[in-house]
Structure 1
Amino acid sequence: MLADALGSQPVLARERLFAGRVWDVEAHEFELGGTRIRREVLVHPGAVAVAAMNARDELMLVHQYRHPAGGTLWELPAGLLDVDGEDPLAAAQRELAEETDLAADSWQTLIDVSTSGGGSTEIIRVYLATDVRELPDAFDRFHEEAEMETRWVPLDEIVDAALGLRLHNATLLSAVLAIAAMRARGDAPGLAAHPVDVPFDWHVAHRQ
Structure 2
Amino acid sequence: MRTIKDTAESWRVTASETPFTGNKTAARTDVVVMPDGSTAKRDYQVHPGSVAVLAIDGQDRVLVINQYRHPVRHRLWEIPAGLLDVPGENPLHAAQRELYEEAHVKAEDWRVLTDVFTSPGGCDEALRIFLARDLSDVEGERFEVSEEEADMELARVPLGELVRGVLAGELHNTCLAVGVLALAAARAGEGVDALRPATAPWPARPFEA
TM-score range, shorter chain: over 0.9
Give matches, 1:180-199, under 5 Å.
180-185=184-189, 187=191, 190-199=192-201
1:121 aligns to what? Answer: 124
Q: What SS class does the counterpart of residue 71 from structure 2 fall into?
A: coil
Aligned counterparts of 2:116 and 2:185: Cα–Cα separation in 1: 16
| Aligned partner (choices 152, 164, 168) of residue 168 of structure 2 | 164
Unaligned runs of 5+ in 2: none
Counting matched residue pairs gives 205
Aligned counterparts of 1:199 and 1:167: Cα–Cα separation in 2: 30
Question: Residue type of the partner of 1:82?
Answer: D
Identify the range of structure 1 (171-180 vs 79-88) with the bigger mean alpha-carbon deviation. 79-88
Question: Residue type of the partner of 2:50?
Answer: A
> Residue 50 in 1 paired to residue 91 in 2?
no
On the 8 A contact 1:29/1:36 being kept in 2, the answer is: yes
On the 8 A contact 1:6/1:202 being kept in 2, the answer is: no
1:38 aligns to what? Answer: 41
Where does structure 1 differ by over 4 angstroms across 4 or more consecutive aligned residues? none
Q: What SS class does the counterpart of residue 191 from structure 1 fall into?
A: helix
Q: What SS class does the counterpart of residue 25 from structure 1 fall into?
A: strand
Percent identity of paired positions between Structure 1 and Structure 2 = 42
Give matches, 1:81-92, under 5 Å.
81-92=84-95
On the 8 A contact 1:102/1:134 being kept in 2, the answer is: yes
Q: What SS class does the counterpart of residue 12 from structure 1 fall into?
A: strand
Question: Residue type of the partner of 2:45?
Answer: L
Give the superposition deviation at 1:206.
Answer: 3.6
Question: Residue type of the partner of 1:67?
Answer: H
| Aligned partner (choices 2, 5, 13) of residue 3 of structure 1 | 5
2:21 aligns to what? Answer: 19
On the 8 A contact 1:45/1:80 being kept in 2, the answer is: yes
Identify the range of structure 1 (42-51 vs 83-92) with the bigger mean alpha-carbon deviation. 83-92
Give the superposition deviation at 1:186.
Answer: 6.2
Aligned counterparts of 1:85 and 1:40: Cα–Cα separation in 2: 25
On the 8 A contact 2:62/2:156 being kept in 1, the answer is: yes
Aligned counterparts of 1:176 and 1:110: Cα–Cα separation in 2: 10
Q: What SS class does the counterpart of residue 172 from structure 1 fall into?
A: helix
Q: CA RMSD in A?
A: 1.6
Deviations for 1:66-93, whole angstroms, at most 9, x for unmatched residues?
Answer: 0001111111100000123421110000
Aligned counterparts of 2:79 and 2:10: Cα–Cα separation in 1: 30
Give the superposition deviation at 1:198.
Answer: 1.2
On the 8 A contact 1:113/1:171 being kept in 2, the answer is: no
Give the superposition deviation at 1:183.
Answer: 2.2
Q: Which TM-score applies when normalising by structure 1?
A: 0.94
Compared CA separation, residues 167 and 75, structure 1 to 2 (3 A):
same
Compared CA separation, residues 192 and 186, structure 1 to 2 (3 A):
closer
| Aligned partner (choices 139, 157, 168) of residue 153 of structure 1 | 157
